[in-house]
């Protein structure tokens, strides 16, 4: 089902507002519900008589309304692990936009910048996230950005290349700001730059800008009361690095004249001169990530799920009942630091860090669907560990 913002906009772009996202046998189901009291009272016994009953009534078609405040509450209090996930969602959208541009402009070099600007006087701080991705046309803004639950990526033939798919990620920004301003220009020829403002009350506006703007997107957020700390330069740097430090796209965090890169490729993508050097780098990484001096480090790989990573052998005996939480990346972005069920149950003596290119994330994006692909990947990862499991 598609929910829309109650749009208020000043251009006449197409809106596709009458197109239902899910075309189930809705008219029949709705009719059945509407006419049920009559059906019961009059003892109609067939669909035919049910439909004849319909002629006796005037019916109005209505669209579901959405209480955006309720959805934001649902996301922030029940789906996401914390309010800082807006940084992850903004980074993900920027990365997906760069991926989309790369699919039509081979060799495009993408970059993302997070800039924190402290407010003058008592004004709240602002965060600006800028990417040189594919950008959006006005029509795409109505279709995808302003339609909750609709995603350009789900409808793309290359959907497996993207991280996003649910069409809700941007809403996480309303947890920290009352308004999202987005300035964008599509790479498609002849498209002007446009400014979109989406508000937490469920309205949005759109206007064409009469100025030069390179293709790509800038998102502006101003902290709402109580969320100022999340716009602090160090907070932004620390979290953006945590979520996206392993990305192959340049990401910088800027504050005043300081510019810091978050990029640090994971050890399984680095080359080493010897096995000893590799092992030392892996163990060092394990210490950085988990704060533990591990006994050993074993490379993990599974074609199924497109998985690469490292398993770290715990220095002390662990109990079979102990749950190990693993660090999990999806397409090089951190998904969860509490990943479970990625390894077979018998592998209770290791903790791992893995990246998967194609396991399917759940809507919270903090775990995966426990499907056949995950079962097979788990088995493959178990095979990688057999070198050390023999003595147990």
Ligand X SMILES: Nc1ncnc2c1ncn2[C@@H]1O[C@H](COP(=O)(O)OP(=O)(O)OP(=O)(O)O)[C@@H](O)[C@H]1O
| Smaller CB separation from ligand X, 216 or 339 | 216
Residue corresponding to tokens 């995966």: 368
Backbone torsions φ then ψ of 126, nearest 5 degrees: -120, 145
Backbone torsions φ then ψ of 352, nearest 5 degrees: -135, 165
Spatial distance between the Cα atoms of 241 and 332, rounded to a whole number of angstroms: 12
Q: Confirm if 174 and 68 have CB atoms less than 8 A apart.
A: yes
| Smaller CB separation from ligand X, 136 or 350 | 136
- Binding status of residue 144 toward ligand X by CB under 6 A: yes
Give the interface size with Mg ion as a residue count (CB under 5 A).
3
Spatial distance between the Cα atoms of 37 and 27, rounded to a whole number of angstroms: 17
Coil vs helix vs strand at 216: strand
- Binding status of residue 153 toward ligand X by CB under 6 A: yes
| Smaller CB separation from Mg ion, 165 or 324 | 165
CA angle 236/143/27 to nearest 5° reads 125
Question: Contact with ligand X (CB under 6 A): which of 2, 152, 222, 356?
Answer: 152
Report, in Å, the least distance between residue 354 CB and Mg ion: 22
- In terms of Cα–Cα distance, which of 59, 127, 132, 53 is closest to 95? 132
Residue corresponding to tokens 């994971």: 266
Report, in Å, the least distance between residue 106 CB and ligand X: 19
Question: Contact with ligand X (CB under 6 A): which of 110, 125, 167, 202?
Answer: 167
Q: Confirm if 382 and 343 have CB atoms less than 8 A apart.
A: yes
CA angle 258/261/266 to nearest 5° reads 160
Q: Identify what 152 binds: Mg ion, ligand X, none; CB under 5 to 8 Å per kind.
A: ligand X
| Smaller CB separation from Mg ion, 339 or 361 | 361
Report, in Å, the least distance between residue 84 CB and Mg ion: 15
Question: Contact with Mg ion (CB under 5 A): which of 125, 169, 245, 361?
Answer: 169
- Binding status of residue 93 toward ligand X by CB under 6 A: yes
- The residues of the shown chain that bind Mg ion, judged by CB under 5 A, are 93, 164, 169
Residues that bind ligand X (CB under 6 A): 89, 92-94, 96-97, 131, 133-136, 144-145, 151-153, 164-170, 217
């Amino acid at each position: 089902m598609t929910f829309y913002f109650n749009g208020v906009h000043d251009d006449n772009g197409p809106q596709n507002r009458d197109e239902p996202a899910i075309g189930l046998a809705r008219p029949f189901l709705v009719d059945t519900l509407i006419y049920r009291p009559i059906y019961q009272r009059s003892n109609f016994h067939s669909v035919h008589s049910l439909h004849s009953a319909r002629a006796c009534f005037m019916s109005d078609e209505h669209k579901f309304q959405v209480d955006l405040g309720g959805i934001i509450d649902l996301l922030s209090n029940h789906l996401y692990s914390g309010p800082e996930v807006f940084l992850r969602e903004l980074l993900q959208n920027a990365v997906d936009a760069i991926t989309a541009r790369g699919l039509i402009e081979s060799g495009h070099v993408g970059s993302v910048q997070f800039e924190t600007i402290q407010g003058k006087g008592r004004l709240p701080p602002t965060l600006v996230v800028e990417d040189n991705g594919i950008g959006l046309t006005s029509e795409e803004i109505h279709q995808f950005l302003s339609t909750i639950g609709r995603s350009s990526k789900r409808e793309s033939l290359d959907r497996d290349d993207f991280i996003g798919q649910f069409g809700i990620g941007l809403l996480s920004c309303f947890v920290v700001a009352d308004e999202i301003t987005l300035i964008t220009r599509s790479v498609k020829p002849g498209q002007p730059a446009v400014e979109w403002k989406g508000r937490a009350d469920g309205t949005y506006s759109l206007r064409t800008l009469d100025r030069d703007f390179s293709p790509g997107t800038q998102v502006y957020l101003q902290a709402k009361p109580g969320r100022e700390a999340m716009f602090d330069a160090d907070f932004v740097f620390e979290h953006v690095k945590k979520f996206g430090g392993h990305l192959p796209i340049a990401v910088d965090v800027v504050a005043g004249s300081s510019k810091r890169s978050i990029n640090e490729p994971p050890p399984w993508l680095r080359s080493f001169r010897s096995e000893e050097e590799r092992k030392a780098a892996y163990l060092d990484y394990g210490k950085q990530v988990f704060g533990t001096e591990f006994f050993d480090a074993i490379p993990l790989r599974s074609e199924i799920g497109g998985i690469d990573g490292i398993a770290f052998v715990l220095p002390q005996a662990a109990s079979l009942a102990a749950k190990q939480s693993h660090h999990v990346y999806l397409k090089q972005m951190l998904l969860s630091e509490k990943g479970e069920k990625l390894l077979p149950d018998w592998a209770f003596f290791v903790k791992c860090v893995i990246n998967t290119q194609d396991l399917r994330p759940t809507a919270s994006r903090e775990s995966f669907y426990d499907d056949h692909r995950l079962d097979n990947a788990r088995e493959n990862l178990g095979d990688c560990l057999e070198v050390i499991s023999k003595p147990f």
